[in-house]
Structure 1
Amino acid sequence: MDKDRIEGSVEQAKGKVKEVAGKVTGDSKTEAEGKADQVKGKVKNTIGGIKDTLRGE
């Protein structure tokens, strides 16, 4: 498994926590940052998946 997939999954999880924290506290900036972090994590995870595919894993 490519390290990008692991890092992407971690980024997604952190983003989700940040999004929920923003919703709970009513902080729309934190909520938006959490959503953006989730998207970055998904992209990184996808890139790692492509690398795994190219390596035949």
Structure 2
Amino acid sequence: MNKDQVQGRFEETKGKVKEVAGKILDNKEMEIKGNVQKNIGKAQVGVGDVKEDIKEAKKTC
């Protein structure tokens, strides 16, 4: 697991919490910001996954 994967999962979790809190508090702005943060975290995890795949591919060559 690399830095991008860890940080991405952390951002994804924070975004999900913020999104749920926005729903509970009926705060659309907070809900939207949480959703955006969650999706940014997912993208960062994806970048980290690609980096790991590249690193693994280099090991097998």
Output the CA distance in 2 between the equivalents of 1:22 and 1:15.
10
Output the CA distance in 2 between the equivalents of 1:22 and 1:4.
26
Secondary structure of 1:56's counterpart equals helix
Q: Which amino acid aligns with 1:27?
A: N
For residues 12-55 of structure 1, what are the alpha-carbon distances to aligned partners after superposition, in whole Å with 9 as ceiling and x for unaligned?
Answer: 10000000110011100000000000110000000000000100
**1:2 to partner: Cα distance:** 1.1
TM-score, normalization by structure 1: 0.95
Structure 2 alignment gaps of length 5 or more: none
Matched pairs, number: 57
TM-score, normalization by structure 2: 0.89
Percent identity reads: 37
The answer to whether the aligner puts 1:18 opposite 2:7 as a matched pair is: no
Residue matched to 2:9: 9
Which 4+ stretches in 1 moved above 4 angstroms?
none
Output the CA distance in 1 between the equivalents of 2:54 and 2:35.
29
